[in-house]
Chains A and B, each alone.
Chain A
Amino acid sequence: MGLFDKLTKLKEGLTKTRQGFVEKVSTILTVHKKIDEELFEELEETLIQADVGVNTSLKLVEKLREEVKARKLKDASELQDVMKAEISAILSKGNTDLNIERGKQNVIMVVGVNGAGKTTTIGKLAHRFKKRRYSVLLAAGDTFRAAAIDQLVVWGERVGVDVIRHQEGSDPGAVAFDACKAATTRNEDILIIDTAGRLHNKANLMEELRKVGRIVRREMADANIEILLVLDATTGQNAISQARIFGEVVDVTGISLAKLDGTAKGGVIIGICDELNIPVKLIGIGEGIEDLKDFIPEEFVNALFEQEE
């Protein structure tokens, strides 16, 4: 896929968000022409409706007010660029590259609430690494949900990588341990560990996850370790609570935002970047196996603000 195609795909995947958010913003700016209180209120409304969150929305609009004052802006159309720049600034915090190095051992542990899209994300990740000629091993660490292991195995077959698995109901820590051992002996480049979905307020389940994380860190002390939190883009403000608590328990190093194509409210990504110090690294913008993309803030903002020709 060429760079051009890639951008087209990204634009396509973000169609909903663009229509639901950016185009609304431009409409507001065109209709109003003059910069007044009403305009700011409408912008705030649009941001909140895009799941940006109350705090971040207020902050963004406050920034706009300041800029208008400082630069003595009069024309509403000038605000679009200001907004783009502010959003860009929020999104560009932190390193958005996956923590993967060639010639070194790499582990990616994937965590998240139920139904966020962990297993699918893993399937797509495995596919992308395989294509880039890494050797990949998967670990079926969701031993709880019915047929979760089978689901990962199907992905393994599809992509052509092996899956380390135990029986349903077995200890996920043991699966992780075995997988780490296997990855080391077989000298695999990348080990991707699936975990069972769990709601972050379930203390026992979070303890179990902490243990799995500990095992991985101990067994793969020399490896690059990426703990990837998968968030469903349709989730509202709870996403922030999820990121915070998972972050505390397993020291999440990156976020993968799944199902971004399905929502007009991609704004949650802005709220997350603003309120947390965990960078978004991947975005899922379609159901196809290729539709998991690196999150590149600049590209993202451009695709978002790109007008239909």
Chain B
Amino acid sequence: MAVFSSLAEKLQDTFRKLKNKGKLTESDVSEAMREIRVALLEADVSYKVAKQFINSVKERAVGQEVMESLTPGQHVVKIVHEELTKLMGASQSKIAVSPKPPTIIMLVGLQGSGKTTSGAKLANYFKKQGRRPLLVAGDIYRPAAIKQIQVLGDQLGLPVYSMGDQVSPVEIARRAVEHAQENSNDLVIIDTAGRLHINEELMKELKDIRHTVTPHEILLVVDAMTGQDAVNVAEAFNKELEISGVILTKLDGDTRGGAALSVKSVTGCPIKFVGMGEKLDALEPFYPDRMASRILGMGDVLTLIEKAQTTYDEKKAKEMEEKLRKAEFTLEDFLDQLQQMKKMGSLEDLLGMIPGLSNNKQLKGVQVDEKELTNIEAIIQSMTPRERQHPEIINGSRKQRIATGSGTKVQDVNKLLKQFIQTKKMMKQFGDSALMKKAKKGKKGMFKLPFFGQ
């Protein structure tokens, strides 16, 4: 859907007309907030939660200085993103482990949210940490649910406790905990049947299980694709059972996952894990900032900005500027630039983070040749310091040596040298002119890399 990745672009349009303003007025911000509200609603964030959120963000955004390096649109998105991240809480994938084993975890949720699979993933996660989990087949209602958990247990090489489908889940849970104590399982994961939050009878059953075995964690399993009803579901389960955390499943789909925000803000419970695939190791910790980007439906522009800010340190940038001005730019400096770039991640990742580029059709399928960069790096590294400072001394036999040393061909070395000389010439021409002024203005920004696009 076109609307999806274009929030940043929309805001850009909204703000284009106020380009020269240093401050955002209240009405500017209100206009932006309308767009953001629609974005949140389209991401299935609950209406009430979205409304509250917008109100709290609005205050922060009004009157803020617009940073020079950012356009106002991006600035507002940045504020929204920060607040959203804050609201979703810190990354918290820890499970409260009881000092007196076994630790008991109970999984609850609607039908089809992914409880059984999540239970198996959780067991696998703890098995890898050296624990001895016991899976408990507490879903006696759905056909073959017991068989499902048994198959999963087999795949993981973990024990599954079952008493068939004729014994009440409360009794099964009680006996399972005893069984765990006898067999030194230090973790008990109780699967339960999916149920509607409005089904009183089945909710009572869950409460009975809770009273009987007092679990250390009650995790609500929520489908990331859930719509506006997520609030009611979370509220109902939390009211009846006092859940301690949430597992958000099926996040490997293309949903924007606004349910995450709704659930978090209604229950106050942390989202502890997210399900990212069908394999049994596809359970990951929850990252609020990633989730925020996803809900807002934008490329990871903030990560990009932050990455550029933190990795490209200012001192080096100043030195570089000086060198460029005096046209003393050497191959060594170039290598430096290259390595700075690499710190920011793979080129393809970087391209993906640039809004408008991430879904640019022309760029789709374009493979950035990382290998070429590696080659350039290797060639420069195969030079002596003197050669890097004074490339003009590189003659035929030196070229041969450099090529052999870097595992490339003499032609590659020639190509690099030629490009370097051209760039240097170009810089000389510019001298103190346009390029330098531009470079000065964007203090923290990146320099244009001379060898790109050739």
Instruction: Report A's interface with B, CB cutoff 8 A.
Output: 16, 45, 48-51, 53-54, 113-117, 123, 144-148, 150-151, 153-155, 158, 168, 199-202, 232, 234-241, 259, 261-265, 268
B220 CB → nearest A CB, Å: 14
Instruction: Give B221-259 interface residues, CB cut-off 8 Å to A.
Output: 223, 225-230, 232-233, 250, 252-256, 258-259
A123 to B143, CA, bound (A): 11
B141's nearest neighbour on chain A, judged by CB, is A287
Which A-B residue pairs are the 6 nearest by beta carbons?
A236-B227, A115-B112, A236-B44, A154-B143, A147-B148, A146-B151
Given contacts A51-B227, A234-B223, A238-B253, 15 further A-B contacts (CB under 8 A): A16-B198, A48-B41, A116-B112, A144-B278, A146-B149, A146-B151, A150-B144, A234-B227, A236-B228, A236-B255, A236-B258, A239-B227, A241-B255, A262-B110, A264-B232
Residues in B with CB closer than 8 Å to A113 are 225, 250, 253
- Cα(A302)–Cα(B449), bound, Å: 66
A238 to B225, CA, bound (A): 6
Bound-state Cα–Cα, A220 to B41, Å: 43
Contacts of A268 in B (CB 8 A): 227
Q: Does B376 contact A (CB under 8 A)?
A: no
B185-236 contacts to A (CB < 8 Å)? 196-198, 223, 225-230, 232-233
Q: How many pairs of residues, A versus B, come closer than 8 Å at their CB atoms?
A: 137
Interface pair B253/A200, CB less than 8 Å apart: yes
User: Contact check: which of B44, B143, B149, B278 meets A238 at CB < 8 Å?
Assistant: B44
Mark each residue of chain B from 105 to 131: 1 if its CB lies under 8 Å from any CB of chain A, else 0: 000001111100000000000000000
Whether a CB of chain A sits under 8 angstroms from the CB of B88 is no
Verify if B393 is at the interface (C-beta below 8 Å from A): no
Residues of B within 8 A of A48 (CB): 41, 47, 228
- Cβ–Cβ < 8 Å partners of B366 in chain A: none
Question: Distance (Å) between the CB of B399 and the closest chain A CB?
Answer: 46
Q: Determine the residue in chain A with the shortest Cβ distance to B254.
A: A201
- Nearest Cβ on chain B to A116's Cβ, whole angstroms: 6
Q: A49, B47: Cβ atoms under 8 Å?
A: yes
Using A115-B223, A116-B112 as known contacts, say yes or no to A234 and B229 having CB atoms under 8 A apart: yes
CA distance A144 to B117 in the complex (A): 13
Closest CB in chain A relative to B304 CB, distance in Å = 23
Chain B residues near A265: list those with CB within 8 A.
227-229
Are B254 and A241 in contact, CB atoms less than 8 angstroms apart?
yes
A150-B143 CB under 8 A given contacts A48-B47, A54-B38, A234-B226: yes
What is the distance, in angstroms, from A6's C-beta to the closest C-beta of chain B? Answer: 21
Instruction: With CB as the reference atom, state the residue of chain B lying closest to A52.
Output: B228
With both beta carbons as reference points, the residue of chain B lying nearest to A114 in the complex is identified as B250
A151 touches B47 (CB 8 A): no
B147 within 8 A of A: yes
Task: Please tell me if B172 contacts chain A, counting CB pairs below 8 Å.
Answer: no
* In the assembled complex, B1 has its CB within 8 A of some CB on chain A: yes
**Which residues of A have CB within 8 Å of B48?**
49
Whether B11 sits at the interface, judged by CB under 8 Å, is: no
Query: Which residues on B are within 8 Å of A, measured CB to CB?
Result: 1, 38, 41-44, 46-48, 110-114, 142-145, 147-152, 155, 196-198, 223, 225-230, 232-233, 250, 252-256, 258-259, 278
A242 to B111, CA, bound (A): 19
Cβ B151 vs Cβ A262 within 8 A: no
Taking CB atoms, residues of chain A closer than 8 Å to B198 are 16, 262
A199 to B250, CA, bound (A): 8
B196 CB contact (under 8 Å) in A45, A147, A262: A262
A11 to chain B, nearest CB (A): 16
Q: Are A236 and B225 in contact (CB under 8 A)?
A: yes
Instruction: Say yes or no: A51-B229 contact (C-beta < 8 A), given A144-B278, A259-B111.
Output: yes
A65 → chain B, closest Cβ, in Å? 18
Residue pair B144, A147 in contact (C-beta under 8 Å): yes
* Chain A residue with Cβ nearest B37: A54
Residues in chain A near residue B147, CB distance under 8 A? 146-147, 150-151
Q: Within the assembled complex, what's the spacing in Å between the Cα atoms of A102 and B421?
A: 81
Report the bound CA distance from A235 to B227 in whole Å: 5
A114 touches B114 (CB 8 A): yes
| Closest A residue, CB atoms, query B257 | A238
How far, in angstroms, from A28 to B225 measured CA to CA in the complex? 29
Nearest Cβ on chain B to A204's Cβ, whole angstroms: 11
16 contacts between A and B (CB under 8 A): A48-B228, A50-B228, A54-B41, A113-B225, A115-B111, A115-B250, A146-B148, A202-B252, A234-B223, A234-B227, A236-B228, A237-B227, A238-B253, A238-B255, A259-B110, A263-B227
- Provide the residues of chain B in CB contact with A49, threshold 8 Å: 46-48, 228
When chains A and B are docked, how far (Å) is the Cα of A123 from the Cα of B142? 12
Bound-complex Cα distance A259 to B111 (A):
9
- Which residues of A have CB within 8 Å of B142? 151
| Whole-angstrom distance between the Cβ of A262 and the nearest chain B Cβ | 4
Q: For B254, what are the chain A residues with a Cβ–Cβ distance below 8 Å? A: 199-201, 238, 241
A271, closest chain B residue (CB): B227
A199 to chain B, nearest CB (A): 4
Q: Is the Cβ of A151 less than 8 Å from the Cβ of B148? A: yes
Asked whether A114 lies within 8 Å of B143 as measured between CB atoms, the reply is: no
Q: Decide: A232 and B229 in contact? CB cutoff 8 A.
A: no
Query: Hey, which chain A residues are within 8 Å of B256, CB to CB?
Result: 237-238
Are A237 and B110 in contact, with the CB atoms below 8 A?
A: no
B223:A235 contact, CB within 8 angstroms: yes
Verify A114–B112 contact, CB threshold 8 A.
Answer: yes
Which chain A positions have C-beta within 8 A of B148?
145-148, 150-151
Quick one: which of A115, A123, A155 has the most chain B CB within 10 A?
A115
A239 and B47 alpha carbons, distance in the complex (Å): 18
In the assembled complex, which residues on chain B have CB atoms less than 8 Å from the CB atom of A123?
143
| Chain B residues within 8 Å of A234, by CB | 110, 223, 226-227, 229-230, 233
Q: What separation, in Å, do the CA atoms of A48 and B226 have in the docked complex?
A: 14
Q: Which of A117, A153, A202, A232 has the most CB of B within 10 A?
A: A232
> How far, in whole Å, are A151 and B149 apart by their CA atoms in the complex?
12
In the complex, chain B residues whose CB is within 8 Å of the CB of A238: 44, 225, 227, 253-256
* Across-interface contacts of A117 in B (CB, < 8 A): 111-112
How many angstroms between the C-alpha atoms of A53 and B256 in the bound complex? 14
* Chain B minimum-CB-distance residue to A235: B225
- Shortest CB-to-CB span from A247 to chain B, Å, is 14
Instruction: Flag if B253 contacts A201 (CB, 8 Å).
Output: yes
Quick one: which of B113, B145, B227, B253 has the most chain A CB within 10 A? B227
Q: How far is B223's CA from A232's CA once the two chains are assembled, in angstroms? A: 10
**Could you say which residues of chain A place their CB within 8 Å of the CB of B226?**
234-236
- When chains A and B are docked, how far (Å) is the Cα of A198 from the Cα of B244? 29
- Let me know if A237 and B47 touch, CB within 8 A: no
Residues of chain B within 8 A of A115, CB atoms compared: 111-114, 223, 250
Task: A234 to B253: give the CA distance in the assembly, Å.
Answer: 16
Within the assembled complex, what's the spacing in Å between the Cα atoms of A237 and B248?
17
Residue of B nearest to A46 (CB): B47
Nearest residue (CB) in B for A145 is B148
- In whole angstroms, how far apart are the Cα atoms of A240 and B148 in the complex? 30
